[in-house]
């Protein structure tokens, strides 16, 4: 099917996106119905629930959240529908339900891997948003779960792996050598985030179950600048802009270069724009070396939106015969050695790096469809968790290098940090007693 025939413009009620018109070919048969539960529906999760529900023969049976306003937001797409998702606030109780096939995880980062593991160990397929883990150890736990429960699929939400134009571009670079020997990748992200201020300890709102919200994380006091979004910038719950957005472009660079685990990682940056409670860097440049053959850099500016190559986010791949440049979505330009444009493929959607719900719009549907069709046995995952973990691990290593202020030497077989006890101690976090994830 030609890509221009693959997309039709049908408006989604609240997300303001369009739906991809996937051919049915028997998907509406009762035996092909895929029933999902979605955890974390304040923002991205509500969008995921609405999008998955729009796919042929897919039903959202449950929504899981610990905050009343988030639950109301998650239910909005189903207003007026004859059948609405049931609400289960505790993920531990949700996964015990027998009447759904797969769990979609879009809760805060510290919940991603523990919830995914709960899903898999209870017989569910799992779609886990990026980052797939809060720390490197959790990523390895997910791979253990994949191996221990091979019938359960686990896919990470690095949706560019399913974009058709980028998939074709990877073939051109890695198989046809259109830019020669591809040896260097550069990714970037720019936004205009504002200060989160200095939080005050206040009583937990009556609408929030803060104990369930913290879950596996050791208990901390509630502050008025934490929920819903600002937890991203606290190491205790979040994973910095590197894992929040860098996962996408770093993953693309790794994909195009065909590399796995690094041998050396460095990072420079800090919290420069404001003096507030924000702990993670708002400015960061991380470098990953893969032996003496290839390398990747990633530049993050959370509080300065000036674009690179005309785009707020994207990546470039450099070779000895040319360069490929991506502008953030399913697009690319290829230049020859003399910087002459020799090929351009445009995206059907406009990149919006500041959109916290979906920066790539309807293109996400390629990834959603890949997940449900893989459950049906009609496709293979484009981002199985063992691949997703490798890219996520690069982000974790960048954060460890940043926090220790040191260059990390790594084992190219698994990415583990060599000869640095302080840095290696950051491979894993501490867990609230009784909440540690177990495979």
Q: What is the CATH number of the domain that holds 67?
A: 3.40.50.720
Give residue 352's pLDDT. 63
Instruction: Look at the chain and report how many structural domains it folds into.
Output: 2
Residue 141 inside a domain? The answer is yes
Q: Do both 154 and 169 map to the same domain?
A: no
Residue 394 inside a domain? The answer is yes
Average the pLDDT over 58-85 and give the result: 96
Give residue 14's pLDDT. 35
Q: Which tokens go with 171?
A: 């073939």
Average the pLDDT over 217-237 and give the result: 97
CA–CA dist 87, 51 (Å, integer): 18
The domain spanning residue 224 has which CATH number? 3.30.360.10
| pLDDT tens digits for range 156-208 | 999 999 999 999 999 999 999 999 999 999 999 999 999 999 999 999 999 99
Whether pLDDT at 37 is above 60:
yes
Average the pLDDT over 394-420 and give the result: 98
CA–CA dist 67, 227 (Å, integer): 10
Residue 436 inside a domain? The answer is no
End-to-end C-alpha distance for the chain, whole angstroms: 41
Phi and psi torsions of 335, nearest 5°: -115, 145
Q: What percent of the chain has pLDDT over 70?
A: 90
Whether pLDDT at 3 is above 60:
no
**Beta-bridge mates of residue 410:** 417
Q: Which of 159, 127, 155 is closest to 363 using CA atoms?
A: 159
Band the pLDDT of 351: cuts 50, 70, 90: low
Least confident of 6-20, 76-90, 253-267, 396-410: 6-20
Q: Do both 26 and 124 map to the same domain?
A: yes
User: What angle (nearest 5°) sits at the alpha carbon of residue 397, between those of residues 231 and 382?
Assistant: 85
Q: Are 40 and 104 in contact (CB under 8 A)?
A: no
Q: What percent of the chain has pLDDT over 90?
A: 88
> What is the residue range of 27's domain?
3-160
Residue 220 inside a domain? The answer is yes
Give residue 361's pLDDT. 64
Q: Do both 152 and 217 map to the same domain?
A: no
Residue 435 inside a domain? The answer is no
Q: Which of 166, 280, 239 is closest to 394 using CA atoms?
A: 239
Give residue 32's pLDDT. 86
Collapsing DSSP to helix, strand or coil, 3 comes out as: helix
Q: Do both 190 and 126 map to the same domain?
A: no
CA–CA dist 108, 65 (Å, integer): 11
The pairing of beta strand 182-190 with beta strand 86-87: unpaired
CA–CA dist 340, 292 (Å, integer): 28
Q: Omega into 92 within 30° of 0, i.e. cis?
A: no
Residue 389 inside a domain? The answer is yes
Q: Do both 251 and 390 map to the same domain?
A: yes
Tokens 């300890």 correspond to 201
| pLDDT tens digits for range 315-336 | 999 999 999 999 999 999 999 9
Whether pLDDT at 303 is above 50:
yes
Question: What's CA 311's distance to the chain center, in Å?
Answer: 20
Domain boundary among 160, 188, 218: 160
Q: Are 44 and 245 in contact (CB under 8 A)?
A: no
Collapsing DSSP to helix, strand or coil, 408 comes out as: strand
List the 264-270 sheet strands across, edge first. Answer: 341-345, 332-336, 322-326, 313-319, 182-190, 294-301, 283-290, 264-270, 408-409
Residue 99 inside a domain? The answer is yes
Q: Do both 269 and 223 map to the same domain?
A: yes
Residue 183 inside a domain? The answer is yes
Q: Do both 240 and 297 map to the same domain?
A: yes
Q: Do both 146 and 226 map to the same domain?
A: no
| pLDDT tens digits for range 113-154 | 999 999 999 999 999 999 999 999 999 999 999 999 999 999
CA–CA dist 69, 379 (Å, integer): 36
Q: Do both 113 and 180 map to the same domain?
A: no
Q: Do both 194 and 148 map to the same domain?
A: no
Q: Which of 417, 427, 255, 396 is closest to 326 using CA atoms?
A: 255
Least confident of 27-36, 68-77, 137-146, 370-379: 27-36
Whether pLDDT at 356 is above 90:
no
pTM of the model: 0.92
Q: Do both 148 and 171 map to the same domain?
A: no
The per-residue pLDDT of the chain, averaged, comes to: 92
CA–CA dist 95, 5 (Å, integer): 38
Q: Do both 316 and 293 map to the same domain?
A: yes
CA–CA dist 303, 194 (Å, integer): 7
């Amino acid at each position: 099917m030609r890509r221009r025939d693959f997309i039709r413009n049908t408006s989604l009620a609240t997300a303001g996106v369009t739906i991809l018109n996937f051919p049915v070919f028997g998907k509406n048969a009762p035996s092909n119905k895929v029933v999902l539960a979605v955890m974390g529906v304040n923002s991205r999760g509500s969008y995921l629930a609405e999008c998955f529900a729009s796919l042929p023969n897919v039903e959202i049976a449950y929504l899981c959240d610990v905050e009343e306003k988030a639950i109301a937001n998650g239910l909005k797409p189903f207003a007026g529908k004859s059948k609405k998702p049931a609400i289960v606030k505790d993920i531990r109780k949700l996964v015990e339900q027998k009447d759904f096939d797969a769990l979609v995880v879009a809760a805060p980062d510290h919940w991603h891997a523990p919830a995914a593991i709960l899903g898999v160990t209870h017989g569910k397929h799992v779609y886990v948003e990026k980052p797939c883990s809060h720390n490197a150890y959790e990523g390895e736990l997910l791979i253990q779960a994949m191996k221990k429960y091979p019938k359960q699929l686990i896919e990470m939400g690095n949706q560019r792996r399913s974009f058709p134009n980028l998939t074709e571009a990877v073939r051109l670079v890695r198989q046809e050598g259109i830019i020669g020997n591809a040896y260097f990748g550069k990714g970037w992200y720019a936004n205009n985030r504002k200060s989160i201020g200095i939080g005050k300890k206040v009583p937990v709102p009556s609408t929030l179950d803060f104990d369930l919200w913290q879950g596996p994380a050791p208990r901390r006091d509630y502050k008025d600048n934490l929920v819903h979004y600002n937890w991203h910038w606290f190491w205790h719950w979040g994973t910095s802009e590197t894992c929040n957005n860098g996962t996408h472009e770093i993953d693309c660079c790794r994909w195009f270069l065909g590399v796995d685990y690094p041998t050396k990682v460095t990072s420079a940056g800090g919290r420069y724009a404001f003096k507030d409670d924000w702990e993670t860097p708002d400015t960061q440049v991380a470098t990953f070396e893969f032996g003496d053959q290839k390398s990747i850099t990633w530049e993050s500016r959370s509080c300065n939106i000036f674009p690179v190559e005309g785009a707020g986010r994207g990546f470039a791949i450099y070779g000895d015969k040319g360069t490929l440049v991506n502008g953030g979505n399913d697009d690319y330009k290829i230049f020859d050695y003399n910087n002459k444009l020799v090929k351009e493929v445009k995206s059907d959607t406009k990149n919006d790096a500041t959109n916290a719900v979906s920066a790539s719009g309807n293109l996400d549907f390629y990834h959603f469809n890949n997940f449900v069709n893989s459950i049906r046995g009609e496709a293979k995952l484009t981002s199985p968790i063992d691949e997703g973990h490798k890219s996520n691990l690069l982000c974790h290593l960048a954060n460890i290098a940043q926090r220790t202020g040191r260059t990390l030497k790594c084992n190219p077989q698994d990415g583990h940090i060599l000869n640095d006890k302080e840095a290696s101690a950051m491979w894993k976090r501490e867990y609230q007693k009784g909440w540690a994830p177990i495979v």
